[in-house]
Structure 1
Amino acid sequence: MEGIISFDKFYNIVNNSRVLGDKTYHGIDPSTGKTLWETPVATEDDLDKAVAAANSAFKKWSSLQQHERSRFMRDLADGLEKHKDALTELLGKESGKSVSFAESEVVMGINTMRRHADWSVPDQLLKDTEDVRIVVQHVPIGVVAGITPWNYPFQLAILKVAPALATGCTVILKPSPFTPYTSLKIAEIAAEVLPPGVVQALGGDDNLGPWMTKHPGIHKISFTGSTATGKKIMAVASETLKRVNLELGGNDAAVVTENFDVHEAAQLVAMATFAHSGQICMATKRIYVHESVYEEFMKHLVEIVKGYKPGEGFCSPIQNKMQFEKVKSIYNECEEQGFNFAVGGGSKVSVDDNRPGYFIAPAIVTNPPEKSRIVQEEPFGPIVPVLTWRDDKEVIERVNDTPTGLGATIYCRDEKRAWQISESLETGSVWVNSGLKLDPVALFGAHKQSGIGGELGPLGLKYYTNTRTITYWKDAPKGPQANGNKGLFA
């Protein structure tokens, strides 16, 4: 498909063709509450055609040499780079991000595509003797359905597409109905440089996700979203034994020790907590501060947070009304139970009663009960509890006392102690001395009910492959038949 990419007209992309539909839906600009562009609702027939195209394309795409796929991926990165400014503006509209935050996400996504073009999963030689050679190969799974959420719609779409392409899979994107626009443009731009059927995108209503999950022509679901939805996907995927990659909810904790510079800790924790108003899966949701530095830490943290201005990156709107109401309910529950607010409170949830959009004022709750909702539940909004602790064993137990295990952050300048705490946490990732700072080679996974599988880095590619073990006996008479009393094992 070749032609001008328009950023005010939107289509589903099937087999490199722009597809309209009888029904449409639209997103909402969370900064203003105004409706955005109409987008076609995909039908079950659209999905069937996309799946057929993806399976047909898979045969050729998976047979390409790694360097050939890498070249295509770099061409796609170049195509996205060409439209960087338009994608940034579009992302800001659909997500509510400030220009700087939206641009950062687009650049991160483009770089993610380029980095994945450098990676592969090589064969692993397990044994090579005069009798036998044993090799484990990692072969592409097939057609991947990438189901993405509304908080980071561009980057998380790329995180589905890039490893799929690198390993030889084809992919069908399904963006959140709250933020469909940048994902659809990724597929439209991909259609200019990739063979038909390799990258497609379908937006739609609540029927589309279940159709994809149960479709026998789809071989893997890569989903980022809530734990509740992830459980439903896993249950339905079991009917066809689809592979699943689930990056689900978390309740990430930050632990501030007494030997870290208190002002620096407050700055880093504030960034990791309130960036995009807390609407980041790996954002800090609970802050544990050693009691000896608690008062000083709170003084710095309160000063920082009170300086946030609506519309900027640390006081952006909640992306949609459903989440807006959830965050308000947590805020109001803290008020009703009489919890102490260091910032916010006083029944003033909105940053400005006259301001349109889904803005919520940042709030800090000090030392609420450990079993309260604000501590136990992920708000995914700009409200956070700060709690004191005394010894390492105690805080580790409190951090681990949750059914989720996505990530955690430790602020500690004693390297031995930092490693000991990190290795005691039941989380897929631990960041030491810097939150929200991802290295693209680092695998991003999860423990407990925060997910299954992993993404990012060379290790993340393995989750888009099946293994095939080839055992080649070089001289058959010396093979298993000649084992005599040794039985089945050589």
Structure 2
Amino acid sequence: MAGQAFDNFIDGRRVPAVDGRTLDVVDPATGEVYAAQALSGKSDVDNAMTAAARAFRDWRRTTPAQRQTALLRIADAIEARAEEVVRVECENTGKPVALTHSEEMTMVLDHLRFFAGAARVLEGRAAAEYLAGHTSMIRREPLGVCAQVTPWNYPLLMAIWKIAPALAAGNTVVLKPSETTPASTLLLAEIAGKHLPAGVLNVVTGDRGTGRLLVEHPVPQMASITGSVRAGVEVAGSAAQDLKRVHLELGGKAPVVVFADADVAAAAEGIAAAGFFNAGQDCTAATRVLVQEGLHDEFVAALTEQARGTRTGPPGDTDADYGPLNSADQLAKVAGFIDRLPDHAVVHCGGSRVGERGFFYAPTVVSGLRQDDEIVQDEVFGPVITVQSFTDEEDAYAKANGVRYGLASSVWTADHARAMRASIELDFGTVWLNTHIPLVAEMPHGGFKHSGYGKDLSMYGLEDYTRIKHVMSSLG
């Protein structure tokens, strides 16, 4: 039986779904239902949009300094309740508590505080007389109400990535978290609601149908989603009917190119950490390795050793490197990739579920793969690292770019010139050199091709939530 009830947060207060419907929330570490969330329908979304539109009239007129102060107060309030926030996040996701506190909470606070400061430094072209007798200037303005949908792999952090730039720019928000991970987002809304006017931030929970209602609603001026390619295509198509702006951060299949002159031990350790972190449930995870032929066998052995030293466990396991997969469906999806491996594939370790309780999956290394294999082309989103070989730079870049995704990539080499060439040739929004997965608030995160468009983080992310207006004044 569900022990907790997660209501919507609309117009500054918690409210159940209008028709009283709910969805179960499952603890992925146990596989058991531990809460119920509101299953929001049209009336709930209408109420949230009405509240956000009403709040926008005043919020858009606040000064950048006022918005900065609000965001800084929210960050301070989250920090003061950090242990509670992490506990809620880990209960809902199964993540290890210690890692979530040290890795994710640090970023949550830093990224929120970055956008608080960024609110005050938006830049534009200088006012000038581009036509004789007339002065032109540029205004950057908020868009209005933003409909946002966040994923289940980093529920709290992705909520910050969505709401921080939107609010900093003067927009109001209606956000829907994933149906499997609503808990920390609702706690965030409750904390933030004490420092924001009612209606500025609203959260509605529910299933994919609820998300569709958000995107199709006539009020929002932007639809922003982090999710699968399928979801992104659906959102883009729906938004096009109303000419809404769309911000898409979708899947990834990050190539990790390891040249023969790379430091094998350092590369294997770094790639294993970046591939298995968060159970590989990361669009930028280092899960598709390309190794130069002369180094292939040595590297596979080193990576396999790293994988065997990596362990999964529940939130309270202080030695766990990652927690469970998100759901029974995700566990079945990951296992399916391994079950369907072609005969030429070699599984060096893992390849199986861990335990009978919860959705844990062993760290897995697979080699002997070809470019057109399903597991090379499609996003697994689990603790599975594949290894292919390549001959030279041209072959490496062709295989690296030979997928539909374009989010992130990395190159491992001692040759600086080669690293610079790779950064040019790789068709991905991020190229890491001799590292993989670090993110900083000051730099943009976003992809190309089927990984979507628009940027999270950085000033580019803030600008995505603004519109540009030309104002011209006659001097006569």
Structure 2 residue aligned with 1:337? 343
When structure 1 is superposed on structure 2, of 306-315 and 460-469 the one drifting more is 306-315
Q: Residue 344 of structure 2 contacts residue 369 of structure 2 at CA under 8 Å; is this kept in 1? A: no
SS at match of 1:64: coil
C-alpha distance in 2, partners of 1:281/1:261?
25
Structure 2 residue aligned with 1:137? 139
Change (3 A) 1:239 1:131: same
C-alpha distance in 2, partners of 1:46/1:83?
29
Structure 2 residue 189 is matched with structure 1 residue 180? no
- Equivalent AA in structure 2 for residue 244 of structure 1: V
Structure 2 residue aligned with 1:326? 333
Task: Please give the root-mean-square deviation of Cα atoms over the aligned residues, in Å.
Answer: 1.7
C-alpha distance in 2, partners of 1:221/1:313?
37
Residue segments in structure 2 that go unaligned for 5+ positions in a row: 314-318
Change (3 A) 1:337 1:294: closer
Q: Residue 29 of structure 2 contacts residue 359 of structure 2 at CA under 8 Å; is this kept in 1? A: yes
Superposed displacement of residue 402, structure 1: 1.2
Structure 2 residue aligned with 1:118? 117
Q: Residue 95 of structure 2 contacts residue 322 of structure 2 at CA under 8 Å; is this kept in 1? A: no
Q: Residue 364 of structure 2 contacts residue 384 of structure 2 at CA under 8 Å; is this kept in 1? A: yes
C-alpha distance in 2, partners of 1:397/1:260?
20
When structure 1 is superposed on structure 2, of 30-39 and 175-184 the one drifting more is 30-39
> Per-residue displacement from partner, 1:105-151 (whole Å, max 9, x unpaired)?
23311221111101032232264466443322221111011101111
Q: Residue 315 of structure 1 contacts residue 362 of structure 1 at CA under 8 Å; is this kept in 2? A: no
- TM value normalised by structure 2: 0.94
Q: Residue 54 of structure 1 contacts residue 170 of structure 1 at CA under 8 Å; is this kept in 2? A: yes
Structure 2 residue aligned with 1:226? 228
Alignment: residue pair count = 463
When structure 1 is superposed on structure 2, of 38-47 and 155-164 the one drifting more is 38-47
Structure 2 residue aligned with 1:357? 358
SS at match of 1:216: coil
% same residue: 32
Structure 1 residue aligned with 2:316? none
Q: Which among 2, 10, 15 is matched to residue 14 of structure 1?
A: 10
Q: Residue 153 of structure 1 contacts residue 183 of structure 1 at CA under 8 Å; is this kept in 2? A: yes
Structure 1 residue aligned with 2:168? 166
Q: Residue 149 of structure 2 contacts residue 224 of structure 2 at CA under 8 Å; is this kept in 1? A: yes
- Structure having the higher Rg: 1
Q: Which among 64, 77, 80 is matched to residue 79 of structure 1?
A: 77
When structure 1 is superposed on structure 2, of 432-441 and 130-139 the one drifting more is 130-139
Q: Residue 134 of structure 1 contacts residue 470 of structure 1 at CA under 8 Å; is this kept in 2? A: yes
> Per-residue displacement from partner, 1:428-468 (whole Å, max 9, x unpaired)?
11111211111111111111111011110111111101111
Superposed displacement of residue 175, structure 1: 0.4
C-alpha distance in 1, partners of 2:233/2:31?
31
- TM value normalised by structure 1: 0.91
Structure 1 residue aligned with 2:430? 429
Superposed displacement of residue 406, structure 1: 0.8
Structure 2 residue aligned with 1:52? 50
> Per-residue displacement from partner, 1:48-95 (whole Å, max 9, x unpaired)?
111111111111111111011100111111121122111111111111
C-alpha distance in 1, partners of 2:207/2:447?
28
- Equivalent AA in structure 1 for residue 290 of structure 2: Y
Change (3 A) 1:259 1:472: farther
Structure 2 residue 324 is matched with structure 1 residue 317? yes
Residue segments in structure 1 that go unaligned for 5+ positions in a row: 1-6, 476-490
C-alpha distance in 1, partners of 2:7/2:80?
20
Superposed displacement of residue 344, structure 1: 2.8
Structure 1 residue aligned with 2:35? 37
C-alpha distance in 1, partners of 2:330/2:346?
24
When structure 1 is superposed on structure 2, of 130-139 and 115-124 the one drifting more is 130-139
Q: Which among 291, 294, 303 is matched to residue 293 of structure 2?
A: 291
Q: Residue 22 of structure 2 contacts residue 36 of structure 2 at CA under 8 Å; is this kept in 1? A: yes
Q: Which among 266, 279, 282 is matched to residue 280 of structure 1?
A: 282
Q: Residue 276 of structure 1 contacts residue 313 of structure 1 at CA under 8 Å; is this kept in 2? A: no
Superposed displacement of residue 9, structure 1: 4.8
SS at match of 1:117: helix
C-alpha distance in 2, partners of 1:473/1:101?
59
C-alpha distance in 1, partners of 2:5/2:378?
39
- Equivalent AA in structure 1 for residue 46 of structure 2: D
Superposed displacement of residue 313, structure 1: 4.7
